């Protein structure tokens, strides 16, 4: 595409980029009227470079705010803002210097272009965001174009925020990632693979070639490359995931990969409706700046039925109390179990959280004893064979559990002993509260049974005989 800029200089777009045949298909889909794009491409297929150049063209066609969203803000800085490709070119060089309205803002990772209609005015803005930091920008930013890069690793709340905004303003969204098990990335693919309003493309290493202008036409990733990775220690699961786009491969470093493999085989993610003949327990992870997460659970024999999951942030106890009161379980809550910090954190009132919450909910509120992280995770693994999940009511929580993983140590190039603190932490921590609370639940049930046991009937007055013994009928007079 050749575009006349405000300085009357003709520029070729994409700028400093020659797409390959499979990359050009993104532009073809746009021209056909598609405004939702899902690119499940293998690793090193050029996802970010392709979609960034696509976005830059859209910035010239429609003035607005454009967001490039990553799982973590520092990842966006590393990959795009400071990123250099295999030819030694910087990603930001794809923004033509003649179109910059001002110097790029390094602190906010923001670029402003000139208005195509009047170069003296600012035009479209491009900004890098992370779902771990500044999701609230999406609410007031009225973005008209958004890239969700490595969406399978993101907090899916970002898309939930963006969807109604783009629907209202006629904007577009593009998702680029490789699989990470059957999490929200898989659900987005499964839901839209046959949706005519979406362009969905899955490209493994067997389907891409270096066939751009000046390239040799060879595979982007050869079998020799894959074998070299294997010799250097890359697991078969990772090869299947990164190069062959397997949704079945275990997420590297996932805590509960084996447990979910069993859950999927036994189809324990299903319809798990509320049964009013059993009480409901809730299990929490408490957040101040982070998310507060709640699992609603019923114990039916040996089965632990997870019937609902909820998380949110930026709210105090009143919000969560009101939310629980509007669920169909109101009047049937037995107890609400908080992690150990329920007795010492505050919700802006100077009171203990458990005391504040107790005034707002039906059912008793307790804080459970603290256990080590390792013990808590082992308790969850022990509990897993008993778990049954409602596929609709617990979808967000299930994704969190699937994505809960060890933190990657970039220096040592290995997984650390600690979990990565991201969107998946909160639901996983709340389930750990459940696993650590089984004795507490048993105690509460014992208390409840004692309260329900009727008092024994009062015996008739004892009549004493002459010698202090019990009277008999014949001694009654």
User: Domain spans of the chain?
Assistant: 2-242, 257-452
Contact predicate 448/334, CB 8 Å: yes
Environment class of residue 33 by beta-carbon count within 10 Å: exposed (0-12), middle (13-18) or buried (19+)? exposed
Structure tokens, 218: 């060879």
- pLDDT for 258-288, tens place per residue? 999 999 999 999 999 999 999 999 999 998 6
- Rounded-to-integer distance, Cα 360 and Cα 323, Å: 10
Contact predicate 321/361, CB 8 Å: yes
What is the phi-psi region of residue 154: left when phi exceeds 0, alpha when psi lies from -120 to 50, beta otherwise?
beta
Query: Would the CA dihedral through 364, 367, 371, 376 be positive or negative?
Result: positive
Note the pLDDT of residue 413: 73
The answer regarding whether domain 2-242 maps to CATH 3.20.20.70 reads no
CA 260, chain centre distance (Å): 16
Determine if the peptide bond prior to 14 is cis (ω within 30°). Answer: yes
Instruction: Kindly provide the b/e burial profile for residues 37-48, where b requires at least 16 CB atoms within 10 angstroms of the residue's own CB.
Output: bbbbbbbebbbb
Helices marked H in 119-269: 136-141, 157-169, 184-192, 223-231, 236-242, 257-265
Contact predicate 397/309, CB 8 Å: yes
Taking the model in full, what pTM does it have? 0.82
- Rounded-to-integer distance, Cα 470 and Cα 468, Å: 7
**Which of 244, 40, 221, 58 is CA-nearest to residue 146?**
58
- Rounded-to-integer distance, Cα 447 and Cα 466, Å: 44
The answer regarding whether domain 257-452 maps to CATH 3.30.2000.10 reads no
Low-confidence ranges of the chain (pLDDT < 50): 2, 6-7, 462-477
Note the pLDDT of residue 287: 81
What phi and psi values does residue 438 have, to the nearest 5 degrees? -60, -40
- Rounded-to-integer distance, Cα 394 and Cα 404, Å: 15
**Residue partners of 272: CB distance under 8 A and separation at least 6:** 305, 306, 307, 388, 389, 390, 391, 393, 394
- Rounded-to-integer distance, Cα 312 and Cα 284, Å: 12
DSSP 8-state code for residue 439: H
- pLDDT for 358-394, tens place per residue? 999 999 999 999 999 999 999 999 999 999 999 999 9
User: Across the strands, what pairs with 463?
Assistant: none
Task: Quickly tell me which residue has 């005989």 as its tokens.
Answer: 465
Helices marked H in 329-453: 353-358, 373-383, 395-403, 423-435, 438-452
Environment class of residue 228 by beta-carbon count within 10 Å: exposed (0-12), middle (13-18) or buried (19+)? exposed
- Rounded-to-integer distance, Cα 255 and Cα 407, Å: 11
Note the pLDDT of residue 470: 36
Contact predicate 361/324, CB 8 Å: yes
Note the pLDDT of residue 113: 98
Contact predicate 5/56, CB 8 Å: no
Structure tokens, 4: 């006349």
Query: Would the CA dihedral through 58, 62, 63, 68 be positive or negative?
Result: negative
User: Across the strands, what pairs with 125?
Assistant: 65, 112
């Amino acid at each position: 595409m050749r575009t006349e800029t405000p300085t009357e200089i003709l520029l070729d777009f994409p700028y400093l980029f020659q797409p390959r045949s499979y990359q050009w298909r993104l532009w073809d889909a746009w021209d056909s009227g598609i405004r939702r794009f899902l690119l499940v491409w293998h690793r090193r297929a050029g996802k970010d470079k392709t979609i960034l150049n696509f976005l830059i063209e859209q910035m010239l066609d429609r003035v607005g705010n454009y967001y490039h969203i990553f799982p973590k803000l520092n990842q966006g800085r590393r990959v795009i803002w400071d990123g250099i490709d295999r030819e030694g070119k910087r990603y930001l060089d794809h923004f033509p210097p003649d179109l910059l309205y001002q110097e790029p803002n390094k602190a906010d990772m923001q670029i402003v272009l000139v208005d195509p209609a009047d170069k003296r005015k600012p035009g479209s803005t491009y900004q890098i965001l992370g779902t771990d930091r500044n999701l609230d920008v999406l609410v007031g930013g009225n973005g008209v174009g958004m890239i969700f890069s490595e969406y399978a690793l993101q907090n899916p709340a970002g898309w939930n925020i963006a969807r109604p905004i783009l629907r209202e303003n006629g904007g577009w969204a593009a998702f680029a990632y490789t699989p990470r098990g059957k999490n929200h990335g898989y659900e987005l693919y499964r839901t839209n693979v046959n949706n005519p309003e979406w362009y969905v493309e899955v490209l493994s290493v067997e389907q891409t070639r270096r066939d751009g202008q000046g390239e040799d036409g060879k595979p982007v990733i050869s079998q020799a490359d894959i074998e070299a990775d294997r010799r250097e220690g890359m697991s078969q699961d990772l090869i299947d995931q990164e190069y062959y786009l397997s949704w079945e491969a275990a997420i590297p470093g996932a805590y509960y990969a084996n447990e979910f493999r069993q859950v999927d085989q036994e189809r324990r993610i299903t319809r798990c409706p509320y049964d009013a003949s059993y009480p409901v327990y809730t299990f929490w992870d408490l957040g101040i700046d982070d998310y507060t997460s709640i699992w609603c659970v019923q114990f039916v024999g040996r089965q632990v039925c997870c019937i609902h999951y909820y998380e949110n942030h930026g709210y105090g106890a009143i919000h969560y109390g009101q939310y629980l009161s509007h669920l169909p379980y109101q009047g049937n809550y037995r107890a609400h179990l908080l992690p150990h910090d329920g007795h010492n954190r505050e919700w802006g009132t100077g009171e203990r959280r458990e005391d504040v919450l107790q005034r707002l909910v039906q059912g008793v509120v307790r804080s459970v004893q603290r256990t080590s992280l390792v013990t808590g995770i082992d308790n969850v693994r022990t509990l897993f064979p008993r778990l049954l999940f409602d596929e609709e009511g617990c979808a967000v929580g299930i994704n969190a559990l699937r994505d809960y993983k060890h933190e990657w140590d970039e220096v040592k190039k290995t997984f650390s002993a600690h979990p990565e603190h991201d969107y998946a932490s909160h639901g996983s921590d709340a389930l750990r509260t459940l696993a650590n609370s089984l004795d507490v639940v048993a105690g509460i049930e014992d208390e409840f049974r004692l309260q329900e046991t009727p008092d024994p009937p009062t015996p008739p007055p004892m009549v004493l005989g002459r010698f202090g013994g019990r009277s008999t009928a014949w001694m009654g007079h």
